[in-house]
């Protein structure tokens, strides 16, 4: 240790008679105590240097120290501790050979000390790390590169010794390259988990060890595949169910490619929707199994789409209210997922026993009667396979109430003989039951229950002694088949003791033949009843018979019975030609004035100079509809009551003398008769609602009205307006 003595600067303070004694400041004393000259100290390590400082004039806290390495300050403004120790921590560098310290007091007086040292480099452990493989990483089978990085503070990298070990077994040894990289490739790694170690040793025997764990992946096995369902039909989704084994237990994902009849499709997932399949298709799926590192070879399966059996979705028979004369119809819904045309085998069962009829409808008139039960069984077929049978609802055949009878009020000579309510003909009873009748009378609207006599049915006769001029008698005959009361018929007679009159002698001198067109609304049946009542001959034809004139030669009166049917211009022209040949026509029209029936009637009348116009639809239930002019009396001179049912109508008018309104509602004509002024032409009559013809509430007067129409047509031209 060297000491440096600095000259003391004495401050001389002059003394005179007014001044004190002059004071002198001493330099601080400092000595390095932590080390000796010539100490060898390691480079790069932190060294703590200590010195002891004191000052006779000042306390340690008033001193300030500075440490130097060579000429460079390394610890500045250091205040000594109370003990006088002053410290400096410093990391030595290669050129640091002298350490010194200087301590100053508040008056800037200084003391110092220095130390010469021998710096040296110390040997440290080498460093090492494994770059590849990465810890926790999974690698595919095959070649794997091992890569490490090593270094040593005191030695060149290529002078270090390295050793690779796998799972405790040495793989290889060697030296790094000049950059410290250690590289080795291996192909001997089996699938599974592995521990890799890199050991590094320097020339001083110091070592470094780096470790990493990793896994070698094994690819999944070739997948086995099942296509479900099997067998598969058009309505089935196709699902590929694949299974494979991964040797590492990794999660396996599957890749799919579907082929239809050998051609690749866009479906690359496990399912093909049923909308894409059809009977006869051959579907194949190729599947690969993959983990995160590789894929297996392809596994395949295929399936052929089978025919789907057709199905009866629903079967019922209607109507559900059934009588002996009902035509039962089947309501069957089939389905076939393959889109095949489906037919059905129909078996009708009456009282549980199949009948010899296989159509889709069953006529009660031929196959069942009241009290029996009827059902239908249907088996579907697509021409390849038959489906399961389904049986309909069961209906029970009910008793058919008898229809309204044909009655007339008969007296050989009114006011001189008894008046009888005579059942001229039974109403329809499709069950063939024996009918009895109850006859009830009213006189001027009041019920009569006494004084009556029996001719055929109880109380069916009013004795002449109860009959007087001007009375209005009404008889009601109600049928009974023993189970149900049927529809009653009503007949009214106004007593006139004078000779009855008729409409222009509307009794033809011959027996006319009537041709009646049929219609789905069954109006023709009521006209047939009327013709039978009058004792005339008739035949029925379809509407298409009007397409030609062949009916002219056999027809005196033509009844065109359907108001809502559609008529062609040819048919209208042929009807017009029939009138011009002298024939007469009842042409049913309807409430919509634009129906082809209405337009056809207007065409015929106006072609014959009638000037017929329509005033539009008259809406509602038009009751009462009055019968007027020549039509209002029957053959016995009795006034025909108004029609109580006339549902909507088409108003008509004409100023022609050949025009006569015959049905009225509130001063509007709903029916008319027309004759041309050409004496060789026949008559046309039309009414604008067909429902009055058959409605039960109109029955008596409707039957009489129909008689009047046929009589008047058959008597033309004598009966023309």
Model pLDDT, residue 6: 39
Q: Between residues 126 and 630, which one has the greater pLDDT?
A: 126
* Residue 118 exposure: Cα atoms within 13 Å on the Cβ side: 5
Model pLDDT, residue 299: 94
On whether the CB atoms of residues 284 and 258 are closer than 8 A, the answer is yes
Model pLDDT, residue 22: 56
Model pLDDT, residue 548: 96
Give 439's strand partners: 477
Mean of per-residue pLDDT scores for the chain: 90
Model pLDDT, residue 14: 36
d(CA 91, CA 48): 9
Model pLDDT, residue 200: 96
Q: What is the mean pLDDT of residues 381-386?
A: 92
Model pLDDT, residue 123: 78
Give 329's strand partners: 318, 361
Q: What pLDDT band is residue 502 in, cutting at 50, 70 and 90?
A: very low
Q: What is the mean pLDDT of residues 581-608?
A: 96
Q: Per residue in 520-531, is it b (16+ CB within 10 Å) or e — as a string? A: ebebbbbbbbbb
264 pLDDT exceeds 70?
yes
11 pLDDT exceeds 50?
no
Q: What is the mean pLDDT of residues 83-90?
A: 95
pLDDT digits (tens, 9 = 90+) for 39-74: 999 888 899 999 999 999 999 999 999 999 999 999
Model pLDDT, residue 153: 83
pLDDT digits (tens, 9 = 90+) for 244-253: 998 878 899 9
d(CA 714, CA 508): 6
Q: What pLDDT band is residue 344 in, cutting at 50, 70 and 90?
A: very high
3 pLDDT exceeds 50?
no
Q: What is the mean pLDDT of residues 517-536?
A: 90
User: Which residue do the tokens 């029936």 mark?
Assistant: 597
132 pLDDT exceeds 50?
yes
- Select, from the ranges 111-125, 183-197, 338-352, the one with the highest average predicted confidence (pLDDT): 338-352
Compute the chain's Rg from CA coordinates: 64
Model pLDDT, residue 503: 55
Which pair of tokens denotes residue 175? 């030296």
Strand order in the sheet with 169-174: 138-140, 207-217, 192-201, 161-166, 169-174
Please work out, in degrees rounded to the nearest 5, the angle formed at the alpha carbon of residue 5 by the alpha carbons of 4 and 8: 150
d(CA 244, CA 226): 12
Structural domains of the chain ordered from first start: 2-121 (2.60.40.10), 127-217 (2.60.40.10), 224-306 (2.60.40.10), 311-396 (2.60.40), 406-494 (2.60.40.10), 513-715 (3.40.50.880)
Q: Residue 129 contacts by C-beta under 8 Å, 6 or more apart in sequence?
A: 148, 149, 198, 210
Which pair of tokens denotes residue 303? 């399936």
d(CA 316, CA 356): 19
Model pLDDT, residue 592: 96
639 pLDDT exceeds 80?
yes
Model pLDDT, residue 21: 55
243 pLDDT exceeds 90?
yes
505 pLDDT exceeds 60?
no
Of 482, 433, 440, 434, give the one whose Cα is nearest residue 462: 440
Rounded to the nearest 5°, which phi and psi values hold at 294?
-175, 170
Q: Between residues 507 and 299, which one has the greater pLDDT?
A: 299
Which pair of tokens denotes residue 719? 């009966």
pLDDT digits (tens, 9 = 90+) for 527-551: 999 999 999 999 999 999 999 999 9
Query: What percentage of the chain carries pLDDT values higher than 70?
Result: 95
Q: What is the mean pLDDT of residues 192-212?
A: 92
């Amino acid at each position: 240790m060297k000491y440096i003595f600095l000259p003391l600067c004495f401050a001389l303070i002059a003394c005179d008679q007014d001044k004190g004694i002059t004071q002198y400041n001493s330099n601080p004393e400092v000595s390095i105590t932590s080390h000796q000259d010539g100490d060898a100290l390691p480079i790069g390590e932190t060294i703590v240097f200590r010195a002891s400082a004191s000052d006779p004039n000042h306390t340690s806290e008033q001193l300030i120290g500075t440490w130097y390495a060579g000429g460079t300050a390394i610890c500045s403004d250091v205040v000594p501790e109370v003990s006088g120790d002053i410290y400096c921590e410093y990391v030595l560098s290669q050129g640091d050979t002298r350490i010194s310290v200087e301590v100053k007091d508040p008056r800037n007086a200084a003391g110092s000390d220095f130390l010469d040292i021998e710096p040296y480099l110390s040997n440290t452990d080498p460093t090492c790390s494994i770059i590849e493989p990465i810890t926790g990483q999974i690698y595919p089978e095959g070649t794997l590169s091992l890569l490490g990085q090593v270094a040593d503070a005191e030695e060149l990298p290529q002078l270090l010794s390295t050793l690779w070990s796998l799972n405790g077994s040495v793989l290889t040894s060697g030296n790094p390259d000049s950059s410290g990289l250690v590289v080795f490739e291996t192909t001997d790694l089996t699938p599974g988990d592995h521990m890799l170690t890199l050991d590094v040793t320097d020339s001083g025997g110091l070592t470094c060890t780096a470790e990493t764990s990793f896994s070698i992946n094994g690819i999944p096995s070739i997948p086995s595949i099942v296509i479900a369902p099997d067998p598969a039909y058009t309505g089935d989704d196709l699902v590929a169910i694949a299974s494979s084994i991964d040797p590492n237990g990794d999660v396996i994902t599957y890749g799919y490619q579907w082929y239809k009849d050998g051609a690749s499709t866009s479906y690359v997932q496990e399912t093909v929707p049923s909308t894409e399949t059809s009977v006869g298709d051959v579907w194949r799926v190729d599947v690969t199994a993959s983990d995160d590192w590789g894929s297996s070879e392809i596994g395949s399966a295929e399936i052929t789409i089978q025919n789907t059996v057709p199905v009866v979705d629903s079967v019922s028979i209607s109507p559900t209210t059934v009588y002996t004369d009902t035509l039962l119809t089947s309501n069957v819904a089939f389905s076939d997922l393959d889109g095949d045309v489906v037919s059905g085998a129909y078996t009708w069962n009456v009282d549980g026993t199949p009948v010899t009829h296989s159509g889709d409808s069953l006529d009660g008139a031929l196959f069942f009667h009241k009290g029996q039960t009827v059902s239908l069984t249907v088996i579907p077929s697509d021409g390849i396979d038959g489906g399961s049978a389904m049986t309909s609802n069961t209906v029970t055949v009910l008793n058919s109430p008898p229809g309204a009878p044909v009655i007339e009020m008969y007296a050989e000579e009114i006011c001189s003989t008894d008046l009888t309510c005579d059942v001229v003909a039974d109403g329809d009873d499709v069950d063939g039951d024996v009918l009895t009748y109850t006859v009830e009378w009213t006189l001027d609207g009041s019920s009569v229950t006494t004084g009556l006599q029996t001719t055929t049915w109880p109380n069916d006769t009013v004795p002449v002694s109860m009959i007087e001029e001007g009375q209005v008698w009404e008889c009601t005959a109600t049928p009974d088949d023993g189970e149900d009361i049927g529809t009653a018929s009503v007949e009214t007679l106004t007593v006139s003791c004078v000779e009855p009159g008729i409409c222009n002698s509307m009794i033809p001198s011959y027996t006319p033949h009537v041709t009646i067109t049929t219609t789905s609304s069954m109006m023709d049946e009521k006209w047939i009843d009327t013709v039978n009542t009058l004792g005339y001959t008739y035949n029925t034809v379809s509407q298409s018979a009007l397409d030609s004139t062949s009916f002219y030669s056999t027809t005196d009166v033509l009844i065109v019975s359907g108001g809502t049917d559609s008529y062609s211009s040819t048919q209208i022209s042929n009807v017009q030609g029939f009138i011009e040949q002298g024939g007469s026509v009842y042409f049913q029209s309807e409430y919509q004035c634009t129906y082809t029936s209405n337009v056809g009637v207007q065409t015929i009348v106006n072609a014959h100079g009638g000037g017929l116009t329509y005033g539009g639809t008259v809406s509602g239930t038009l009751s009462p509809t009055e019968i007027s002019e020549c039509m209002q009396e029957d053959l016995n001179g009795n006034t025909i009551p108004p029609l109580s049912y006339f549902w909507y109508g088409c108003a008509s008018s004409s100023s022609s003398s050949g025009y006569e309104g015959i049905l009225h509602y509130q001063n509007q004509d709903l029916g008319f008769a027309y004759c041309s002024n050409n004496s060789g032409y026949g008559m046309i009559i039309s009414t604008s609602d067909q429902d009055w013809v058959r409605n039960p509430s109109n029955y008596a007067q409707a039957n009489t009205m129909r008689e009047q129409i046929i009589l008047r047509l058959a008597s033309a031209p004598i009966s023309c307006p």
